[in-house]
Structure formats: C-alpha cells, structure tokens
Structure 1
Amino acid sequence: MRIAVIGGLAAGPAAAAEAKRQAPDATVVLFEEGPHISVGTCEIPYLIGGRLEPGTDLVVLTPDEIRRTRGVDARVRHRVTALDPGRGRLTVEALHFGSTTEEPFDRFILATGARARRLGVDGEDAAGVFTVRNLVDTHAILRWLDTEPVRHVVVVGGGYIGLEMAEAMRERGLRATILDPNGRVLGNTVACEASDLMNEAVAAAGVAVRAERVTAILADDDGRVRAVRTDRGELVGCQMVVVSVGVEPRVELAQAAGIRLGDRGGVAVDDQMRTSARRVWACGDVVEIPRAPDGRRVLWPLATTARRTARVAARNATGTADRFRPFAGAVGVRAFGVEVGSVGLSLAQAEDAGLDAVATDVRHLSRTAAFPEASPIDVRLVTERGTGRLLGGQLVGAEGAALRSDVLVPLVARGATVRELAEDLDLLYNPPLAPAVDPLKVAASRAMRD
C-alpha cells in the first residue's frame, strides 16, 4: 500500500508517522512545498522578541529525522499540483529541479493547512510588510529588524498572534501600535469579554490599540513601507507592518479534485476524516470539525486539534477504525504579564449559535488572600439557561488563569453542568497555589443562581 500525505506543518507529519505505525509495511510519502516540516510556529513571536536564545531551532523534525525514526519518506520543496483520486495519481513538481512527475498512490491524506490572510489593500506588497506563519516569515522579519532603522511597528489585528507580536516589538525596545476594528485586543480569537485586565496591561506597556481598519499601505521611493492609511483617513507612520488578521484554509488542491467543501470554506469531512472523494482523507487546518457545545462545524487552526485530526485520518486511511469526537476549543495566551484562557463558546458565539445562554462574571483571587502574591482573576462562565449546561468559560489574570481553564475542557466536551463544577469537583487547595474555594467554583456557584 502506498499512502501520500500532502502538507508538512503540524498535521502532515503527525498523519504520516501514525500511518506508518498502523501499517508498517506501507510506503508513506510526505510532500511539502516549503523547505521545512514540523515547525513549532507558536514559538515564533518569542524568538523574534528575544525571549528565546538567538538561533533557537524551531524545527521539531527534519526530513532526515522523520525518515530515520518514523520510516516516512519526506520530500521538501515538492509541490503537489494535482490530485486525481479516481486514477490514484498525484502530479508533483520538484521545485529544486523544475521537473514534474505523476506518481501512483492507493490512499491520500490532505494536510495542506492554511495561509495567512491578506488585507487586500493597495501597497500590501511593500518591503517591510510581513505575516507570521512559518520559518520563512520569521527569518525575513529578523533580517528586517536587524538591518533596517525600525522605530515604530504597526500590528494589524489584535488576536493572540498580533498581541504576542506587539509584545515582541516592545521587548526589542520598539514602539508598537495595534490596529483592530474592535478597539481592544483578543476581541475574537480568544474571548475575554468580561475583563479589561489584558487591555489595561497592553496600555500600561505603552502599546496603543486603535479601533481602525487599514485601507492602504504607503511606501517610500525605495519601496519600503513608510505609513498605513486607516478608515478614519489618518496616516500612521511606521517602518514595519505585521499583518495578523487570521488564516484561511488552503483548499485549492481539494477543489480542483472535486472534493466537497463545507459552509466555512474548509474541506468537509465526516467523523473519520473522510472527504467526499474515495480514498481521500483530510486533517489539520484545512478541515471543518465539530465543536462540542453545539456541534457546529468550524475551522479551528491550532496544532492541538491538527494532531488529533491527523491521527484519526491516518488510522482510517490504513484500515484501523477511529473517529473524531467534538472538541472543546481551548486557547491560551500570555502577554504583558497577563494570562488568558478560553474554552468553549463565548457569550456572543453561544447567542450566534441560537443557544439561550447567560454569562456569569466573578472576580476572585489566584491564591489565599494572606499571600502578598495573590492577584485577581476574572472568570466568566457561559451556561445554557434552564439546564445549566456549561457552554464555555474565560479566565483572565496575572497568574493561574490559563492553565486553570483546562479544568473546563472535559466539562464542556461532555456537556456537564455548572452544578457539577460547583459541587462535584474537588479542585486543588493549597494556600500558596490556590484558595480554599477556587475561582472556577465561585463562578459556578454564582451561575447556579443566575
């Protein structure tokens, strides 16, 4: 059996390795058009900001390592230009040599991932305008910062990557401004609707957050960025722009092969990660997967779920039955000394899903009050009115917020109620670590009365 895996960031290598584990006698070939596979992209802002040692290698597995340790034939700089499931053929362009070949396979796993969204405005191709998606982007940003007289960086988008990049610029001693239509950070990607602790920390660090959209990017006579124009008609002078407005699934190969897409523009799959095409499975950032609270299929471009979907796709592609169970959706970020953990649905998302939802907000302490290090944690629980079913939750604080939110993951995933959280769970109590009544239990008790 010959299995082709197309794409090499997070899901692709995980799928290839799992396929080889399940079918040791199979030939598993991984195709990646870029120069690297298996890159720790979440560490990129910290490398740029100097939190990691210069030259830190973010590559988790090299092509040689995955060949030697997993038995996978990894081919970088190989672009798959066509997929013909009916004939069992891939058309592959070897970018190093400029040659194109057609190769036969029995099974296919699509892991083509996602690309950074662009603004679609004039001037976006100016030198000094960057996205943050891969190691190529990272090296380009570091070269620009090391060789250009950068004083002010405009970050477009206040999601967690934009927030982390703004922090990275401040850590390099540069001025940073965030432009986001919400006028606040983490308005969409990581919900923290009931807390201003992060926004206050951002402002205290000297980062302005402006509720504006970019309408054009202006360059000087040498083609280097010099300013952005906003929808308020203002010019914001800068020497660098970081565009962080989300990602979009790379579905062109699937579309050309006649594979069905879902409502969100990603590849449609069943709970076995099987696509509409015979002998083709898909995984990672390119697929739409069901979230636990409402079953709606959404795009969720994070490495954790990418690896989950990859294992399921590989097992089914090799004949070992497995299925993907709806995900709870845990996201965390720490920046400017504040942590945010978000699980499940925000209030806005729950209402958009047609659920009769209510939010309960409390402020409690991270440790017993006697300890001077104790700091406030803002907690919001989102529940279904009447049933008390836990739909989601957000925690924001200087310490103990992000990892504490992990408690909510299994509860949201299985549809537990706030009563179970308030009365049935014995959470850790140790004065220097956590108070006698955990902030989550305080919020759950309040939610039972709401």
Structure 2
Amino acid sequence: MSKYLIIGGVAGGATVAARLRRLDEQAEIIMFERGAHISYANCGLPYYIGDVIKDREKLLLQTPESFKARLNVEVRVFNEVVKIDRENKAVVVRNVETGEEYTESYDKLVLSPGAEPIKPPISGIKDPSIFTLRNVVDTDKVKAYCNDHQPKRAVVVGAGFIGLEMAENLHHLGMKVSIVEMAKQVMAPLDYEMAAVVHQHLKTKQVEFFLKDGVTSFKREGGVLNVTLQSGRQIETDLVILSIGVKPENKLAREAGLELAPNGGIIANEYLLSNDENIYVLGDAMAFPHPITGKLSNIYLAGPANKQGRIVADNIVSGNTRKYKGAIATAIAKVFDITVASTGIPEKTLKNEMMPYTANIIHGASHAGYYPDALPYTLKILFHPENGKLYGAQMIGYEGVDKRIDLIATVLKQGGSIYDLQDIEHAYAPPFSSAKDPVNQAGFAAENIVSGKLKIVSWDEIHNFHSENIVLLDVRTAAENELGHIEGSVNIPVDDLRGRLDELPKDKKIIVYCGVGLRGYIACRILTQSGFSEVYNLSGGYKTYEHSICKQSNEDIFEANYITKNDHIYRGKADNGQEVIEGAAVKTIQVDACGLQCPGPILKLKQEIENIKPGERLEQIATDMGFMKDVKSWCNMTGNKLVSVSAEKGKVKALIEKGKKQEESSKKTSAAPAKNKTMVVFSDDMDRALASLVIANGAAAMGSKVTLFFTFWGLNVIKKSDKPHVEKDIMSKMFGSMMAKDAGDLKLSKMNMMGVGAKMMKKRMLAKKVDSLEDMLQTAMENGVQMIACQMSMDVMGVDKEELMEGVEIGGVATYLEEADQSNLNLFI
C-alpha cells in the first residue's frame, strides 16, 4: 500500500488528494494544513467582506470531515510541516495548537504550500486596523472589524486584482476608499493605456487613488490612523488593507535543498517533479517555464493550480505519463461596472525580452449596435509582426469580456495566430454579438497590419512627435474636433478627404486618427492608393490617446471631508460645486442615445436640445463612456448648463438644462467684461520670473482670477526644491543637466556673472524686505493663482510631474487658451 503526503490543503493540494483517491482506493493519503480550513473559495473572500456573498459557509467547499467521509482522506488541520527529510523520505510535523512534533514517512510527497502576503517593514504596520487578505481567518478578522467598528474610511495599499476587488467591496459597504499604488498604473498585467481605462472608470465611482506613491509609515492618533505617503501626503483612515503582493512560500523547500528559481519559486519539470524524484510541486509556490517566453515564472491563479493537481495525481499513480504545458496567466476581474481581463504576456514584457512584436487596439460594442444596450469594449492584442503568431491580449468592457478572452486564450494556448482569431466560429444573434465578433475583428485588423495594408503608430509614439516633417490628420467630423483633438492636427473629415487631397503634402509622413481607428483605416487606404507613401493610423484612435495622456490619478478628492460627533461624513463644500435648484418642477424630456458611438451621442444631444425651450431640461443616456467628458465640454461651449452627469453599469446619464439664447448670452457677456489675467511664463530668468509673480500676486489681490501657463524653460520656476528621484531616458537626462534645479537655482538675464549677480539680487531683495521668488510662489498658490504646466513642454524637456510643486496642474495649450479667452490681459514673459 502506497503512502502519499500532501502539504497544503487549498486549491492544488485538495485537488491532488481527491484525484489520488479516485485513482488509488488502497493508498494512505494524509493532507496537512497549518490553518483551520481546507478547500475554500479564496477568490470569493473580498465579496463576502462586501456583503455580496452573504453566507460564509458557501466559501467552505470542503471540510476535514467531508473529505474523510467521501474520499477517505485524512486531513490534519492545525498541523504544520516544519521539515522535510529527503534522505529518509519523511517529514517533521508540529501540532500548532499543542506544540507537539512528530514524524511521518512517505512514498511520494506533494508540495502545495501556496504563497504568502508581502508585508514590508513599515513603521506602524502592526496596528490592529491593518489587515492582509489571504485566507478565511484573515477574512473573518476583517469582517469582524467592519461589523464592530463601522469604519467610514479605508485605504487599500496595492492596486492589483485583489486590491481593486477589495476597494470595490469596501466601497459597496459605504466607505470612502483610497488606493495607494507605487507603480504608475493599477493592475500590473495590463499595459499602461489599458490600465488608463480602469483609472478613468475608478474616477466615475469617486474612488480616490494615488499612483507612483508609496506608504512610508502608519501612525495611530487617537481613533484615527494616519497613513503617510512618500509624496508627503497624509491620509486619515479607519481601516487599511495591505494588498502589496505575494511571494512563494518556499522555506520548507529551500531548507530541504530543492532547486529554486531566481524569483523564489520551487522549480518543477514537465511532470511537475522537483529535483527530487519523490517530491512533486504545484500551485502558487511552483516556478515553471512560461509557454511563450520560456522563462521561469509563477502563476498565482486557482485555475492552473487545479489542473496541475490532476496531473500530479496521475503521475504519482501511473508513473509520470502526463506532461504539464504551462500556464499563460489568463485572468479576469470585476472592477465596479467593468470587466478587466488579460491572457498571455503584455507589451512591457515583450519589450523587456526584446521579442519582435506588434500591438493593436480596437474598440467596439458588446453586441450589434442596433440592438438595445450595446456596451463599449476595448481590446488589445499582441502578435509577431511577420507571421502573426499571437502573444497576448487584454480586454476591458461591460459585457461579454469573459467569453472573448477565453476564445483568445484557447488560440494562444495552442500556439495559434491572428489568422486563427479570424476563423473562430461564434454563436451570433443581435443580443449576444455581432456578425463579426470582436475576436474576429481583432484578427482582421491585425492581418491588415501584417500584410502591409496598414501602418500604425501607438498613442505614446504620437505623443512624442514634434517634427516639421509630420502632418497629424484628424478625419473625424468638425463637431468631434471641436470637442477635443491632438494639438497641431488638421481636420479633414474622412467623407471629404477624396476631394481635399491637394491640401496634404506628399513629401511628409501623415499620421491619421479618428475616434477609435476605423475611419482612420479607411482614410489611410484612400491616401495610400492616392500616391501618399508614408501614411500611418493611430492604433485605438483618439479614444485611446485621450485616456492615456489625461491625468491618471485621482488624489485628494476626500480632502474636504470631515467626520462629526454623530459619526457621519460631511464635506466642507458641495460635492460637485453646482448650484442646487429648488422649487417648481422643470419639464424634462428623456433621450436614448445607447449604442451610438462618438460623435453620435453629442450629435443626438445637439439635435434634441433644439426641440426644447430655455430653462427646460433634457436627460440623455448613452453607452459611449466618452460622452461623460464630451457633454461637459459641449455644455461649456454652447452656453447650456450641465446639471448632473453620472455613470452606472456601462451607461452615462446626463441632465442638461437649456441655456438662454445666444444673443442674450452675448449681451450679458458684453455688459460684464472679464477681469481674468493670463500669462505665459516661457523664461526661467530669475528677474523675469519675479516680474511674472509680482504681477500675478497683484492681480490676485485685486480680485482677478490669474492663470500662469509655464512652458519650456519656464517649467524650472515651478520645480520642487526636494524633488524625488525619477527614472529618465538619455535625452531627458541631457536636458535635465542643462536646466535649473528649482526656483532657487535661477539666473539673472543681465549681469548674472556666473551666478554672482543672482546672489547679489537675492541679498538686495532681503535687505529691502522684498519676498524671495520661493515666497512669491507660495503666496501665489495661497492667493488662488492657477499654475498650469504645459504637458508638451514637459515631454520635450524631460520633466516629470513628480518634479513639480504640489498644486501645479498639467494641461495643454487648449487649457491655456480657454483661460485666455476669458481674460482681458494676456502677457508673454
């Protein structure tokens, strides 16, 4: 009779035990688990905390008693294996409750110890309101704390899949949730521009999040826990969830001399054997060559662990007959209303591995647009630029994301290509899909690129283009262009393009963009077949570009919150800053723009608002999430009032009140001339910077709204004196070496005398009791002077947001021009 020991009783270990019994009725099978529970649904833990799953018992799939009764497997909970004696094929076990140790022999040993949460040595991390979430015991502690203390505010440290699931569930309980993430994005398996979609969705849910920032300390002050960040910010909270990440639990394996990977995983061969022929390994602790890169990697997912368990059991009983092919890390998560999924490897990994690849992004709807409630999606695939071999995919949407990522993962796991995506036969009816499913569409678009019918550029490539030899061509409608466009582009709608070809130079590179990429492709084909040789389409269109370049983080949105003695949270000012209208009911009409893609919702709004009277309201619902931003801009441009806008389950609902007639608005404007002042600060000469701030502070003191737009060398004026370390490319470092470090390092435009003149000026100002430049900057901030740093200049000069003073906004020329349009004084310094 064979004797099998299994260390670890969750997904992988429990699967091995069950399969072993089905294959070998006579074997002695013992499973050790140092905790209290086995075979529990750890993926469901966040949803139990958030009261989405009400019944705790539903998380417990098996118990030691049920395992014994049905499978005749002896389960020893609260028993921790503390040593493996490979020579004598035995383990040393400690009873966690009594401390007693004993030895158990084996014929075959299975290691499924899982992974452990990372808890960095941060000051104050042992506060009783700080938790990790890895097992049922952790879950019970968090649940009990929430029930007993009724926390109003929560901080989630780490924005991976589990971190965002926890953020959503704490939000579901009514807490104000803040997320802190050291990386520049959430959800590491996603590429940046895909994570940007998640960032914008989190904003619609009023979740506060800090990117490129980490926790330096926790400090208890009475009933409040203060969380201090690397940026110097402090967040007051009642509860902290640490979701920084996990690492393989390898102590036993390391001490037993089993071979480990550089990342700490226990190396397994194709039969899931360690370097000991009697010890198998699986689950989170195992390192195995990735099917695409060939590099040893860990896959922290329940699905692969269960499949590995079945293979291990078969090989133990049948003598290593089944081979494991590896996992491609297919993962999915619900983040509030959206579904986020990925499979294979992201673009950043392909870059690091220096593998040749092409990436393309498409946008579309979850099903036929003419059927109600077609919701948007974004799909990115990565493939070999010549043969089309598939490397990976990422998808974000509201419906049908799971089935699409599963289809792509199946092709990817079989070593397939973009051509296999085209050939997938899917079930089609208008409520479920389109005749050409998104997966097919991704394959068709990729073929156009591989075959040379289309050249593409990505959002980050176009964002860095500033050349006289490049023409940016916007082929959207004029109305779309007015709502937002890439700086420096010319607008020729695609339907007018054939008649206006003579307006475009044939000796320059032409980069075409539209809303999502389709009209851009049509325009590229027109141009390419009309004698234009260097024509490129913007992958993902303006939608991806706009998501990627706009502000990603969502800091300090709870700054005005305070908790009163009645234990309720209040704000120091209105949530949306809009006037609340009370009194008589206002006539409101409803407009359904669902299924329409940009600019459809705006055109529909423009058409319908003509049919109502000033003062009446129009409520429009759209499934294009870009409508949430566009409707604000449209109202600002047209003189109509945006009463409210919200997003829920993939639908944007906007309430617009029709403004007075344009001629009346014009009279009102002329009767009250603007008092605003704007200045472009181009220079970093100390005396010119002083002049701009003297004028700004004087104007602010007289009641004017003042905006300073810092561009090129002027960026040096608003740099922090204690800038954090920022990783930069070679060109950025070169520019940095030529630029002033901060306001205190500026030189005089005349008689600088290698810095002596600047020192003399500072000494003279001190003697005459004139504020220093640094003090003037602080005063300007306190006086409400708006300071905008030019995004384009920052990119060219290699200046990162983290180098700039707190309170400085990032914007483009359109932001400045909007302010200048409302000003009666505009200066260039």
Offset from partner CA, 1:343-373 (integer Å, 9 cap, x none):
1111112222221111110101111011220
Q: Confirm or deny: 8 A CA contact 1:218 1:227 kept in the other structure.
A: yes
Shift of 1:56: 4.2
Task: Give the 3 Å change call, closer, same or farther, for CA 195–92 of structure 1 in structure 2.
Answer: closer
- Aligned counterparts of 2:26 and 2:344: Cα–Cα separation in 1: 40
Matches within 5 A, 1:358-377: 358-377=358-377
Equivalent residue, structure 2, for 1:246: 245
Q: Which has the higher helix share?
A: 2
Equivalent residue, structure 1, for 2:323: 323
Equivalent residue, structure 1, for 2:285: 286
Q: Confirm or deny: 8 A CA contact 1:190 1:332 kept in the other structure.
A: no
Shift of 1:195: 5.9
Q: Confirm or deny: 8 A CA contact 2:362 2:380 kept in the other structure.
A: yes
- Aligned counterparts of 1:182 and 1:281: Cα–Cα separation in 2: 35
Equivalent residue, structure 1, for 2:232: 233
Is residue 158 of structure 1 aligned with residue 159 of structure 2?
A: yes
Equivalent residue, structure 2, for 1:256: 255
Letter in 1 for 2:364: H
Equivalent residue, structure 2, for 1:127: 128
Matches within 5 A, 1:89-108: 89-108=90-109
- Aligned counterparts of 2:360 and 2:426: Cα–Cα separation in 1: 20
Shift of 1:263: 2.4
Shift of 1:6: 0.5
Q: Confirm or deny: 8 A CA contact 1:131 1:243 kept in the other structure.
A: yes
Q: Confirm or deny: 8 A CA contact 2:345 2:391 kept in the other structure.
A: yes
Which has the larger displacement, 321-330 or 387-396?
A: 321-330
Equivalent residue, structure 1, for 2:388: 388
Is residue 433 of structure 1 aligned with residue 412 of structure 2?
A: no
Shift of 1:202: 1.1
- Aligned counterparts of 2:36 and 2:55: Cα–Cα separation in 1: 20
- Aligned counterparts of 2:238 and 2:134: Cα–Cα separation in 1: 20
Shift of 1:12: 0.8
Task: Give the 3 Å change call, closer, same or farther, for CA 119–193 of structure 1 in structure 2.
Answer: farther
Shift of 1:178: 0.7
Shift of 1:241: 0.6
- Aligned counterparts of 2:58 and 2:447: Cα–Cα separation in 1: 48
Equivalent residue, structure 2, for 1:58: 59
Is residue 413 of structure 1 aligned with residue 413 of structure 2?
A: yes
- Aligned counterparts of 1:305 and 1:225: Cα–Cα separation in 2: 41
User: Identity percentage over the alignment?
Assistant: 26
- Aligned counterparts of 2:433 and 2:388: Cα–Cα separation in 1: 25
Bigger relative CO (Cα 8 Å, ≥ 6 apart): 1
Q: Confirm or deny: 8 A CA contact 1:326 1:413 kept in the other structure.
A: no
Equivalent residue, structure 2, for 1:201: 201
Q: Confirm or deny: 8 A CA contact 2:3 2:29 kept in the other structure.
A: yes
Q: Secondary structure at the match of 1:368?
A: coil
Which has the larger displacement, 80-89 or 224-233?
A: 224-233
- Aligned counterparts of 1:317 and 1:24: Cα–Cα separation in 2: 14
Equivalent residue, structure 1, for 2:216: 215
Q: Secondary structure at the match of 1:163?
A: helix
Q: Secondary structure at the match of 1:218?
A: strand
- Aligned counterparts of 1:397 and 1:197: Cα–Cα separation in 2: 10
Is residue 337 of structure 1 aligned with residue 314 of structure 2?
A: no
Shift of 1:270: 0.2
Equivalent residue, structure 2, for 1:31: 32
Q: Confirm or deny: 8 A CA contact 2:189 2:342 kept in the other structure.
A: no
Shift of 1:135: 0.4
- Aligned counterparts of 2:154 and 2:295: Cα–Cα separation in 1: 37
Q: Confirm or deny: 8 A CA contact 1:341 1:403 kept in the other structure.
A: no
Equivalent residue, structure 1, for 2:4: 3
Equivalent residue, structure 1, for 2:183: 182
- Aligned counterparts of 1:26 and 1:264: Cα–Cα separation in 2: 35
The structure that has the greater radius of gyration is 2
Offset from partner CA, 1:271-328 (integer Å, 9 cap, x none):
1111112311111111012322222221001111111222222222223421101222
- Aligned counterparts of 1:94 and 1:194: Cα–Cα separation in 2: 48
Which has the larger displacement, 125-134 or 45-54?
A: 45-54
Q: Secondary structure at the match of 1:65?
A: helix
Shift of 1:146: 1.0
Equivalent residue, structure 2, for 1:84: 85
Offset from partner CA, 1:106-156 (integer Å, 9 cap, x none):
111111111111132111111111111000110000111111141110001
Is residue 298 of structure 1 aligned with residue 304 of structure 2?
A: no
Q: Secondary structure at the match of 1:101?
A: strand
- Aligned counterparts of 1:30 and 1:59: Cα–Cα separation in 2: 17
Q: Confirm or deny: 8 A CA contact 1:197 1:397 kept in the other structure.
A: no
- Aligned counterparts of 1:295 and 1:49: Cα–Cα separation in 2: 39
- Aligned counterparts of 1:192 and 1:411: Cα–Cα separation in 2: 24
Q: Confirm or deny: 8 A CA contact 1:158 1:178 kept in the other structure.
A: yes
Equivalent residue, structure 2, for 1:272: 271
Which has the larger displacement, 151-160 or 347-356?
A: 347-356
- Aligned counterparts of 1:140 and 1:357: Cα–Cα separation in 2: 46
Shift of 1:199: 2.0
**Matched residue pairs, number?**
446
Offset from partner CA, 1:30-75 (integer Å, 9 cap, x none):
0000000001011111111111114343111101111111221111
Q: Confirm or deny: 8 A CA contact 1:383 1:391 kept in the other structure.
A: yes
Q: Confirm or deny: 8 A CA contact 1:119 1:243 kept in the other structure.
A: no
Task: Give the 3 Å change call, closer, same or farther, for CA 125–189 of structure 1 in structure 2.
Answer: farther
Q: Secondary structure at the match of 2:52?
A: coil
Q: Confirm or deny: 8 A CA contact 1:292 1:414 kept in the other structure.
A: no
Q: Confirm or deny: 8 A CA contact 1:377 1:397 kept in the other structure.
A: yes
Q: Confirm or deny: 8 A CA contact 1:192 1:396 kept in the other structure.
A: no
Task: Give the 3 Å change call, closer, same or farther, for CA 190–133 of structure 1 in structure 2.
Answer: farther
- Aligned counterparts of 1:175 and 1:192: Cα–Cα separation in 2: 26
- Aligned counterparts of 1:192 and 1:370: Cα–Cα separation in 2: 32
Letter in 1 for 2:399: E
Query: TM-score, length-normalised on structure 1?
Result: 0.96
Q: Confirm or deny: 8 A CA contact 1:361 1:380 kept in the other structure.
A: yes
Shift of 1:192: 6.9
Q: Secondary structure at the match of 1:315?
A: helix
- Aligned counterparts of 1:225 and 1:257: Cα–Cα separation in 2: 45
Unaligned runs of 5+ in 1: none
Query: TM-score, length-normalised on structure 2?
Result: 0.53
Superposed CA RMSD: 1.5
Letter in 1 for 2:170: M
Task: Give the 3 Å change call, closer, same or farther, for CA 262–183 of structure 1 in structure 2.
Answer: closer
- Aligned counterparts of 2:218 and 2:271: Cα–Cα separation in 1: 44
Which has the larger displacement, 192-201 or 366-375?
A: 192-201
Task: Give the 3 Å change call, closer, same or farther, for CA 284–293 of structure 1 in structure 2.
Answer: same
Letter in 2 for 1:374: A
Unaligned runs of 5+ in 2: 450-829
Q: Secondary structure at the match of 1:194?
A: helix
Q: Confirm or deny: 8 A CA contact 1:153 1:238 kept in the other structure.
A: yes
Is residue 73 of structure 1 aligned with residue 90 of structure 2?
A: no
Q: Confirm or deny: 8 A CA contact 1:127 1:225 kept in the other structure.
A: no
Q: Secondary structure at the match of 1:349?
A: helix
Offset from partner CA, 1:51-105 (integer Å, 9 cap, x none):
1114343111101111111221111000111111210111111123321111211
- Aligned counterparts of 2:288 and 2:76: Cα–Cα separation in 1: 28
